[in-house]
Chain A
Amino acid sequence: MEGPTSTGIPNRKLAMWSFIGSECMLFGTLIATYMIYRGRNLVPPYPHDLLNIPFITVTTFVLLMSSLMMVLALAAVQRNDLRATKLWLGMTALFGLIFLGGQYYEFNHFVHEGLPLSRNLFSSTFFVLTGTHGAHVAGGVIWLSTLLVRAVQGKLDARHAETVEIAGLYWHFVDVVWIILFTLIYLLV
């Protein structure tokens, strides 16, 4: 319904990118806090007691591949291949869910190992940082599921490619954040 824009970029796409720019600051602040407090924890358990690299590598891989599914969904809807669109949208959301399941398992495990949220400085920074990321993933899964439902109803086709693209931008950004968190939290433990 909107006419041509001054930059040639659709309004919603420009808005999503601006939002992502803002989100950089949100995660930047959370990451800064985590990094500043790294090594200052006074009460056990400590990060290296609990962090499980092989396990998190698997879920990291799943989230990374969900980004591939996402671009495939976009490519499919752009060429109006609705079957492939449904398939890849569904796969993206599913992989997102698997990641969230992994996070749920991880959190649960940590709590059982004696690390509830209020335990120490590590628990505070770790849970709030990864939890914020997880909340973003959850929001993305809901968004993608909505698109999937629309696609199944036959209400999503090449005319809505921009909508899928914008959801994709969000999804990839959340993935990019995890790329950073994976390195900073787990590999630089």
Chain B
Amino acid sequence: MAMTDAHSTGIGSWLTTVDHKRIAIMYFVVGFAFLLIAGVEGQLIRLQLAAPERSFLDPDLYNQLFTMHGTTMVFFAGMPLVVAFFNFVVPLQIGARDVAFPRLNAFSFWVFLFGGLFLYASVPLRVMPDGGWFAYMPLTNAEYSPGPGIDFYVLSLLISGVGSIAGGLNFLVTILNMRAPGMTFMRMPLFTWMALIVSALILLAFPPFTVGLIFMLFDRRFGTHFFDAAAGADPVLWQHLFWVFGHPEVYILILPAFGIVSDVIPTFSRKILFGYPVVVFSGVLIAFLGFGVWVHHMFSVGLGPVVNAVFGGATMLIAIPTGIKIFNWIATMWGGRLRFRTAMLFAVGLVATFTIGGLSGVMHSSPPADLQQTDTYFVVAHFHYVLIGGTVFGLFCGFYYWFPKATGRMLHEGLGKAHFWLSFIALNVTFFPMHFSGLLGMPRRTYTYAEGLGLDVFNLISTAGAFIFTLSFVPLVWNLWRAWRRGEAAGHNPWDASTLEWTMASPPPHYNFAEIPAVDRRDPLWHPYIEPESRREGDEPGGVVPRQQPEEPPEPVVMPNPSYWPLVLAVGMLLMTIGGLGSLGLTLFGLLVTAVGLFAWAFEPPFGGGVH
């Protein structure tokens, strides 16, 4: 295969890139596009529900839209946006020149992209999946969901799951193994810590889901009986497999946001993070307990008082480490010199809104209470508070924080603040009323509601809020356009932050670090410059990390070669996936392409091309 120069910017260089910064950009762009698409779907749902008994969407289309909305948001917007930040930030924060397996990284991106495109191929074909993002059996078996819609769901999540597991593997090894000299675990920035934990979560949480999807595929296509009650099986097993994955999955989505704000709040408070070890260990604890609470999504199944009580208790327990972090952030801000730049606003917004979502979560951790709330809009309110007020705000926080580093341009503060306030207001206007409509008994996933149930006003307000959401993207897009046209130059460290990613030029050179720094403390760039009152005991002024990387590497740097094979491998898997819709020939051909890609990959030298 022809080698493409690492510095070229043609389309070929993007198809073959293994540079973590470019892969991050691709993840971000595609993830953002899916966020917009799924946002439109949500907006359509809200239009249908604006008033009782509307017929804007027919019930069938409504089912397809909420399924696509949830599936897209979780798997094709939330996850890739999280991974975009892993990609861009983690190597820079740990002082590495790339991830451990650059080609595997490219492969992860391509299969994610193909998974998303495959799912959306169901739209022009008018056979979108309609079983909800959790696709409960037996509704989704071949008898009750005969069309190919559910197959699109199953196959797209199978292929993108492979990419997620590969990504988890990659970042686990990168963080464990590629840290700069002196960067011990307890000196790692919080975002890197959370990326480490999330990588482990991905590795352990995705396989049960993969297995469940394979069972579903086999039941649908090959007549097996994994979820067939008539054969002695129990369809509830699907729910177990889904939520054994599903609950860790929500932590996969929230912990990176926690990591981001744990880096941002200290920066804009001019204080080191309060209780760093506690924040770290509560993250570890959440990851551990996260595997023991899945039944809280199934309280209404009727698994019996013992099971429900055990899992209810565990759920209440997991709220403790989650709540602790809130206090750490507040204590960090306490007495700090606060600067409310846009990133900080989103961080503080997260602390506020995530707490509301956490509280409603604790409310339905009690099985008897949950029986009133489950499958109502109350739960919808809960998870949108944690997912938008937590994950999305955290991601926007990170976006405003690291955008200058990634592009070398500053974003406009006024537009950023407009974006924050609009989305903050939109979130609360849209989802706060759902607590009430939910408690009044309005069921989820139902295309309309009757008049005179007291639901009309709440729904109208929610729909109005959704419009504000749509509006909130205007200042964001305007800001991006403005930065592209005439954004001010960012410099090395525009926020005067404390971690390694702020030592090199913005955007970082291809090799990140001209010289790999040696680290001797947490927050290395804040010594000796940070205010004396926040210095810890035993700290001496004058860290060893240079505040700015040299312009040119003093010694030649060997970077990984670009490669076509990750793309070839991913195309092979896409062909297998498409074949899964019913063409054995195509599946076998895809297997062949995959095998060819795999062997070519294995025998291609990963290093040794361009020397800088």
List chain A positions with a Cβ less than 8 A from chain B: 1, 5-7, 9, 11, 14-15, 18-19, 21-23, 25-26, 28-30, 33, 36-37, 40-43, 117-118, 120-121, 123-125, 128, 146
Contact = CB atoms under 8 A, between A and B. Distances in A.
B212 interface: yes
A29 B208 contact: yes
Interface residues of B, number: 45
Contact of B177 (A6, A19, A33): A6
Interface in B134-186: 165, 168-170, 172-173, 176-179, 183
B224 A29 contact: no
What's the dominant secondary structure at chain B's contact region? helix
Contacts of A120: 225, 231-232
Contacts of B231: 41-43, 120-121, 124
Interface stretch (B214-222, B265-273, B370-378, B394-402): B214-222
A5 B101 contact: no
A5 B177 CA distance: 5
B569 to A, nearest CB: 15
Contact of A6 (B169, B179, B210): B179
Given A1-B608, A18-B169, A22-B207, A117 B176 contact: no
B204 interface: yes
B218 A128 contact: yes
Interface string B575-612: 00000000000000000000000010010001110000
A19 B166 CA distance: 9
Contacts of A23: 207
B210 to A, nearest CB: 7
A129 B179 CA distance: 39
27 contacts: A5-B177, A6-B178, A6-B179, A7-B177, A11-B178, A15-B172, A15-B173, A18-B169, A18-B173, A22-B204, A25-B205, A25-B208, A28-B207, A28-B208, A30-B211, A36-B237, A37-B233, A40-B233, A43-B231, A117-B218, A120-B231, A121-B225, A121-B231, A123-B224, A124-B226, A128-B218, A128-B226
Contact of B169 (A1, A19, A36): A19
Kindly list the 10 A-B residue pairs having the minimum CB-CB distance in the complex, ordered from nearest: A118-B223, A124-B224, A26-B207, A25-B207, A5-B177, A22-B203, A40-B232, A29-B211, A42-B232, A1-B607
A9 B100 CA distance: 12
B572 to A, nearest CB: 15
Nearest to A26: B207
Contacts, number: 110
Contacts of A121: 225, 228, 231-233
A128 B231 CA distance: 16
Given A6-B176, A22-B169, 5 more contacts: A23-B207, A26-B210, A30-B211, A36-B234, A121-B233
B86 to A, nearest CB: 15
Given A6-B176, A37-B233, A128 B207 contact: no
Contacts of A33: 211, 215, 226, 237
Contact of B232 (A22, A25, A41, A118): A41
Q: Max chain A CB contacts within 10 Å: which of B176, B205, B231, B602?
A: B231
B163 to A, nearest CB: 14
B307 interface: no
A29 B203 contact: no
B558 interface: yes
Contacts of A37: 232-233
Contacts of B100: 11, 15
B177 A11 contact: yes
Contacts of A28: 207-208
A179 to B, nearest CB: 19
Given A25-B208, A42-B232, A128-B214, A1 B558 contact: yes
